[in-house]
Structures are given as structure tokens and as C-alpha cells.
């Protein structure tokens, strides 16, 4: 089983447990917080990945750190992943859990790439237009890429809507290259 498959299994189990407990939102926040805490603290990550430390000690550490901060479902799944030596997959588990939650709720994910970070007004405008066009709730995944110069690229539902300035300049360049040279006599 690949690392991605392992992470997907943990994420699916967590989603099923969280759904049964009606705690999907809390689980989403909790698993992301746990993954971030482990990623951000080298001593914690080292202790949790150390095969010389007994599973019981790791379980105690997880309970002490996250017990009051995350749902019981998150604590159980994250602790299980750590005990089984899958600490390094926590970030991927959190990411996949979010994707599963969005899919199960019928939320469409749109990847939005801009040359500069979106402000609240533009974010809201893009989101509203996508919701109107798709007829479903939309979650934006924002990315900044100065290489597009200006405009926006939106990837949603397997389609790419490229309104970037760089693609428009490429189109003009291609038109000029293919245009006939000279004038009429």
C-alpha cells in the first residue's frame, strides 16, 4: 500500500467516524491542527517517529497535547497513525480528509491562480459567479503565481478557464506571427 493510499484510508475512517458523531467540521479543524502541530515542532515529530519510544508513551503524549483540543475521533485516528509509524502522513491525511468532506457535502473545489493575492471583494465575486454557474457550493483553493502577470486562471470540474494576461499575450503573439506581412500594392 502506498503512502497516499494509507493516508486516504485514515482520512476515510476519520470522515466516517466524524459523520457518525456529526462532527465533520470540528474533525476537519482538529486533524489540520494536529498535522500542523506535528509538522511545526521538530522535537514532537522526532519523539513520535522514534521507534525506540513505546507506543503507550506516544499515545500518552498525543492525549496530553491534543486530548482537550480535538474531537475524540481525531485523537483516535491520529494516535493510531502515529502508533503504526505513519506520523509523516498526518498532513496528507488532513488534506485528503478536507477533500472527502467537500465531496460528500457536494462542494465543488475551484483552484484559482492569480498574480497577486485575492482581496475579500474579489474572492467573494469569483465565488458567487462560480456558485451561480455551477449551481453548487464552491470552495476556492487560492494560489499566487506572478508568472501569469495579471488576470486569473480557474480550474474547476476538469476544465480550465484561463483569463490570465500571459495567455492573452501569447494569443496576440501567435496572431502576429501568423499574420501576413506587408501591405497591398
Each residue's pLDDT tens digit in the chain (185 positions)? 888 899 999 999 999 999 999 999 999 999 999 999 999 999 999 999 998 999 999 999 999 999 889 999 999 999 999 999 999 999 999 999 998 998 888 888 899 999 999 999 999 999 999 999 989 999 899 999 998 888 899 999 789 988 888 888 888 888 888 887 765 65
The whole-angstrom separation of Cα 149 and Cα 166 is: 6
Say yes or no: 14 and 83 in one domain: yes
Say yes or no: 113 and 90 in one domain: no
User: What pLDDT shows up at residue 182?
Assistant: 63
Say yes or no: 10 and 99 in one domain: yes
Say yes or no: 98 and 9 in one domain: yes
Write out the three cell numbers for 149: 502577470
Tell me the H-state helices in the chain.
3-20, 24-40, 42-49, 55-66, 72-83, 90-104, 120-134, 165-178
CATH number at residue 24: 1.10.520.20
Grid coordinates 475524540 are at which residue? 72
User: What pLDDT shows up at residue 178?
Assistant: 87
Measured at the alpha carbon of residue 27, what is the angle toward residues 154 and 44, in degrees to the nearest 5? 100
Amino acid at each position: 500500500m502506498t503512502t497516499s493510499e494509507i493516508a486516504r484510508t485514515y482520512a476515510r475512517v476519520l470522515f466516517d467516524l466524524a459523520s457518525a458523531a456529526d462532527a465533520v467540521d470540528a474533525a476537519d479543524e482538529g486533524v489540520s491542527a494536529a498535522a500542523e502541530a506535528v509538522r511545526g515542532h521538530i522535537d514532537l515529530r522526532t519523539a513520535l517517529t522514534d521507534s525506540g519510544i513505546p507506543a503507550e508513551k506516544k499515545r500518552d503524549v498525543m492525549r496530553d497535547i491534543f486530548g482537550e483540543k480535538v474531537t475524540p475521533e481525531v485523537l483516535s485516528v491520529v494516535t493510531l497513525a502515529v502508533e503504526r509509524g505513519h506520523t509523516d502522513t498526518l498532513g496528507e491525511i488532513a488534506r485528503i480528509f478536507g477533500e472527502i468532506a467537500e465531496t460528500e457535502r457536494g462542494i465543488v473545489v475551484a483552484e484559482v491562480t492569480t498574480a497577486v493575492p485575492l482581496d475579500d471583494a474579489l474572492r467573494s465575486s469569483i465565488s458567487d459567479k462560480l456558485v451561480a454557474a455551477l449551481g453548487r457550493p464552491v470552495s476556492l483553493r487560492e494560489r499566487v503565481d506572478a508568472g501569469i502577470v495579471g488576470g486569473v486562471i480557474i480550474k474547476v470540474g476538469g476544465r480550465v478557464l484561463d483569463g490570465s494576461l500571459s495567455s492573452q499575450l501569447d494569443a496576440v503573439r501567435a496572431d502576429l506571427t501568423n499574420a501576413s506581412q506587408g501591405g497591398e500594392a
